[in-house]
Amino acid sequence: MTELQGEYVPSTAGWVRDQVEAFEASNGTAANVLARTGDPIVVITNRGAKSGKIRKTPLMRVEKDGSYLAVASLGGGPKDPVWVHNFRAHPEVELQDGEVKQAYVARELSGEERAQWWEHAVATWSTYGEYQKKTDRVIPLFLLEPVG
């Protein structure tokens, strides 16, 4: 796998920075769950839409048949998380699930395909359903499909 190259810019959010740092230092064997719930996370490496710099985002682990779903919930906030713009501009990403790191292409979902994956996301982590109730925006979903 060819890793995304470039300058890494850590998140401005302290908890994200700390989780990514601990996750990577352990090669995914530590800091691989959400601290307050113990639910599993993955770390997605992507390129900034404007800067082109490397960004790393921990997201809830929503997987099915080797593909992963990136749910842009931002806790039900009024705006999309910044990484949504990154995925739209540069869909080539890397995802690390535990010790396994692989290249993926992110594709934004719509229609029936989005509805099916949303159902799977809520079944995997029910909090997503609560987040959708807190916002008027439709939460973007990106399907990450393995390269090759």
Please list, in sequence order, all residues whose beta carbon lies within 8 angstroms of the beta carbon of residue 34, skipping any fewer than 6 positions away: 40, 41, 60
Asked if the model's pLDDT at residue 111 lies above 80, the reply is yes
% of the chain surpassing 90 pLDDT: 94
Q: Is the separation of the CB atoms in 30 and 22 below 8 Å?
A: yes
Asked if the model's pLDDT at residue 28 lies above 90, the reply is yes
pLDDT digits (tens, 9 = 90+) for 63-109: 999 999 999 999 999 999 999 999 999 999 999 999 999 999 999 99
Domain residue spans in the chain?
Answer: 14-146
pLDDT digits (tens, 9 = 90+) for 12-21: 999 999 999 9
Q: Give the mean model confidence (pLDDT) for residues 27-39.
A: 92
Asked if the model's pLDDT at residue 1 lies above 70, the reply is no
Domain 14-146 belongs to what topology?
A: Pnp Oxidase; Chain A (2.30.110)
Q: Give the mean model confidence (pLDDT) for residues 118-145.
A: 96
Residue 34 Ramachandran class (φ > 0 left, ψ -120 to 50 alpha, else beta) = beta
At 36 the pLDDT is 83
